């Protein structure tokens, strides 16, 4: 029997993720997976469980939590506002960290336009946080990451 790269990668990922991921549910899922299961098959199995056991009303919230846990952007910016308060604050902070604060000085119209879109998204999220009574926290995060000349 040769070296199983898939199994090694899975074990390495779990080890790097730390004890938090090593909860009984994650362990049970990991133990139940066939050794050579690819990501597509795993995604299809998760989709089947979601459809059969949880219902379509939970798809968006599930994906929002999944993306948040993986440090990914939501699939659709409009779905950002379906997030709970903590997830929205986390998304706002991640976007603030990644924002090009000097985009407006660029001679490249693509960079400028991209920066404008990011700034609009940040503004929209800040407004939503204000509606949720989190304006002070949003302002604190903005001040923490804002870069000025």
For residues 119 and 100, membership in a common domain is answered with yes
* 43 touches 66 (CB < 8 A): no
Query: What's the structural domain count of the chain?
Result: 2
Could you give the CA distance from residue 140 to residue 26 in angstroms, rounded to a whole number?
A: 35
For residues 49 and 7, membership in a common domain is answered with yes
For residues 48 and 114, membership in a common domain is answered with no
Range of 106's domain?
60-149
pTM of the full structure: 0.49
For residues 70 and 29, membership in a common domain is answered with no
From first to last of the 149 residues of the chain, give the pLDDT tens digit. 466 666 666 666 655 555 554 567 777 777 787 878 787 888 888 888 888 887 777 777 777 777 767 767 655 555 566 788 888 998 899 899 989 999 889 888 888 888 888 888 899 899 999 999 999 999 999 999 998 65
For residues 74 and 145, membership in a common domain is answered with yes
The angle subtended at Cα 122 by Cα 143 and Cα 92, nearest 5°, is 70
């Amino acid at each position: 029997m040769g070296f199983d790269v898939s199994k090694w990668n899975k074990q390495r990922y779990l080890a790097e993720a730390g004890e938090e991921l090593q909860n009984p549910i994650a362990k049970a899922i990991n133990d139940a997976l066939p050794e050579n299961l690819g990501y597509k098959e795993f995604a299809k199995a998760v989709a089947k469980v979601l459809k059969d056991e949880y219902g379509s009303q939970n798809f968006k919230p599930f994906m929002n939590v999944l993306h948040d846990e993986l440090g990914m952007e939501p699939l659709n910016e409009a779905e950002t506002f379906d997030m709970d308060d903590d997830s929205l604050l986390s998304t706002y902070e991640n976007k603030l960290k990644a924002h090009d604060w000097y985009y407006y000085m660029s001679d490249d119209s693509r960079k400028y336009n991209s920066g404008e879109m990011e700034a609009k998204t940040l503004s929209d999220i800040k407004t939503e946080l204000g509606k949720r009574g989190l304006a002070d926290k949003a302002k604190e995060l903005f001040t923490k990451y804002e870069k000025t000349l």
